[in-house]
């Protein structure tokens, strides 16, 4: 049965609205590019956050709020010093309380003796005043040993488990790198992409 001539305008309109093969290929190719890029950005941000932690020599288990034996010991450090907390002269963050554990575990310990016998000490979190007696106690290394997670096998085991978890979360980085370094599909869709872009700009 021949087509009804009166239906010809509707048929042409449906064909115009129907996506062409080029459109479908172009959209598929764009998804191929966009999805890995989004996942790659997410993984890169995760990797950079872990890199920041590792470069600062911070304890991952403590950042994940895993209960540590060293934390309990660190809370009792104040009883070994002449003051419950060191007197903060400068703090890197507003309302930041600097504890003795922060002082003894600091990667920076730069001290200057003052005329009154006390010491002004630059640590990671700021600058504190430490008495001569407390300074001499700190330099023995005993307070650091008490508060250091590496002194306790259970804390070391917790850190290892967290590192394994971290590595498992970073693992997609390698897979995504391999996927993104692979050649795109062998079919050349450049013409389709141009046509698709032009049609969207109309």
Walk along the chain (202 residues) in steps of 10 and give the mean pLDDT of each run. 59 53 49 54 63 59 83 89 92 79 92 94 93 96 91 88 78 66 49 47 50
Asked if 155 contacts 70 with a C-beta cutoff of 8 angstroms, the reply is: yes
Global pTM exceeds 0.85: no
The pLDDT assigned to 79 comes to 92
Q: Alpha-carbon distance 11 to 159, whole Å?
A: 68
What whole-number distance in Å separates Cα of residue 62 and Cα of residue 149?
9
CB 159 within 8 A of CB 61: yes
């Amino acid at each position: 049965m021949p087509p009804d001539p009166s239906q010809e305008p509707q048929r042409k309109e449906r064909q115009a609205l129907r996506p062409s093969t080029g459109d479908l290929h172009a959209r598929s190719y764009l998804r191929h590019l966009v999805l890995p890029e989004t996942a790659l950005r997410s993984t890169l941000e995760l990797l950079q956050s872990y890199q920041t932690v590792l470069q600062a020599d911070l304890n991952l288990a403590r950042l994940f709020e895993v209960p540590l034996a060293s934390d309990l010991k660190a809370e009792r450090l104040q009883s070994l010093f002449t003051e419950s907390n060191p007197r903060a002269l400068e703090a890197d963050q507003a309302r930041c309380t600097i504890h003795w554990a922060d002082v003894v575990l600091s990667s920076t310990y730069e001290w200057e003796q003052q005329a009154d016998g006390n010491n002004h000490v630059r640590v990671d979190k700021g600058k504190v005043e430490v008495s001569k007696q407390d300074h001499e106690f700190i330099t023995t290394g005993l307070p650091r040993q008490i508060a250091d997670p590496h002194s306790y096998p259970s804390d070391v085991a917790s850190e290892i488990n967290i590192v394994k978890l971290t590595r498992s979360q970073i693992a997609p980085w390698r897979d995504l790198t391999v996927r993104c370094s692979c050649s795109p599909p062998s079919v050349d869709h450049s013409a389709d992409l141009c046509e698709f872009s032009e049609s969207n700009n109309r």
